[in-house]
Amino acid sequence: MKILGIDPGIERLGWGIVEKNGSQLARIRSGVKKTSKNQKEDERLWEIFVFLDKLIKKEKPNAVSTEKLFFAKNVKTALVIGEVRGIILAIARKHHLPIKEFAPLGMKMAICGYGRADKRAVANMVKLMLNLPQKELLDDETDALALAIAGTSYPSFP
């Protein structure tokens, strides 16, 4: 089973594909899709749509796992993240992929066994679970891999 984890963001969209075979987890690919602040918002959203469409066609995941927006200090940021989430949900639907959404607390619980774990603890567990090199990944990429890992344990996914 291959899960595409997506950490929604317009400036930096984290993505990671994790494959689960039995109890073994492996990172297939991951990265951060960046868009330019110099572009109009609709152009950036379209760029994300096209990127995810191509990624799904190439990698053929079985499902998508993403983050729920639960709180934002900045209303404008929350609205933009909501728009990116809409693209994620639409692209998953376009490709007939089941989607699981995790609140940050649920994702941390799935990865660390503790919902209040900090970013460093999540990053360390992701590296251990996927046997990654100790090089630092951007938070967005780490979060996407964590979402993909959390998605592999969700019973309704294929």
Residue positions forming the annotated binding site: 7, 67, 140
How far apart are alpha carbons 107 and 45 in whole angstroms? 25
Q: Which domains does the chain have, with CATH numbers?
A: 1-150 (3.30.420.10)
- pLDDT (tens, 9 = 90+) of the chain, 158 residues, equals 999 999 999 999 999 999 999 989 999 999 999 999 999 999 999 999 999 999 999 999 999 999 987 666 778 788 899 999 999 999 999 999 999 999 989 999 999 999 889 999 999 999 999 998 877 888 999 999 999 999 998 665 55
| pTM summary value | 0.93
Residue positions forming the annotated binding site for Mg(2+): 7, 67, 140
Residues annotated as catalytic are 7, 67, 140
The Cβ of residue 75 has, within 10 Å, a number of other Cβ atoms equal to 8
